[in-house]
């Protein structure tokens, strides 16, 4: 029993390396002029993330990040920053927590949520860059996952509603989107996504 419990807290050598020696940190006083900046999270939940990107010829030329998160958040964002540099905006937009975690050699299960901050902040930075330059965003819809098929409710819809303080509980989400009012099979997944967003944005 004790061995099983301890195993849940084991970090890989790669995670430890990226935590102790994080790559591409946005250092105080550094003259880094970002073309796009994305912020996610909330100090209320203990994790907050900022990502800045420089873009050249449709690719991420350089990237910096800053977080108030835990060791897992630091390590996963450090790894994300290495993966994203040199990527096209499209490929970077489609980076997932699973891809980042896989490169780290895994994270303790209860710490997996920390890995979603980096990719969300990266997408927000790309959104910001495209908006600032008056460019269309062809990527936004392609990363959305439908959770309530009957009503077409996606994870992005839930995230935006929580982030903009329009939804703070399941009843408000149901009223806003109509989720779980048809077959109801999606309720557990809806609740998981809602709770994750509430945690990330400290609502």
Q: Supply the residues annotated as catalytic.
A: 45, 114
**Token pair for 24:** 């591409």
- The torsion defined by the Cα of 49, 54, 55 and 61, in degrees rounded to 10, comes to -100
Contact between 112 and 119 under an 8 Å Cβ cutoff? The reply is no
If one counts every other C-beta atom within 10 angstroms of the C-beta of residue 6, the result is: 9
Contact between 126 and 36 under an 8 Å Cβ cutoff? The reply is yes
Contact between 151 and 178 under an 8 Å Cβ cutoff? The reply is yes
């Amino acid at each position: 029993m004790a061995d099983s419990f301890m195993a849940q807290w084991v970090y890989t050598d790669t995670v430890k390396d990226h935590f102790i020696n994080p790559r591409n940190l946005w250092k105080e006083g550094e003259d880094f002029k970002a073309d796009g900046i994305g912020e996610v999270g909330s100090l209320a939940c203990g994790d907050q993330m900022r990502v800045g990107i420089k873009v050249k010829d449709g690719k991420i030329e350089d990237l910096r990040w800053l977080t108030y998160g835990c060791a897992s958040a630091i390590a996963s964002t450090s790894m994300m920053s290495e993966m994203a540099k040199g990527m096209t905006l499209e490929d970077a937009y489609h980076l997932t927590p699973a891809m980042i975690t896989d490169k780290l050699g895994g994270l303790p299960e209860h710490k997996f949520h920390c890995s979603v901050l980096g990719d969300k902040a990266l997408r927000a930075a790309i959104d910001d860059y495209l908006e600032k330059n008056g460019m269309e965003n062809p990527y936004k819809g392609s990363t959305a996952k439908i959770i309530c098929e009957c009503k077409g409710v996606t994870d992005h819809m839930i995230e935006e509603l929580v982030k903009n303080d329009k939804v703070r509980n399941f009843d408000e989400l149901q009223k806003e989107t109509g989720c779980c009012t048809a077959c109801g099979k999606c309720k557990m997944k809806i609740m998981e996504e809602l709770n994750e967003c509430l945690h990330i944005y400290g609502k």
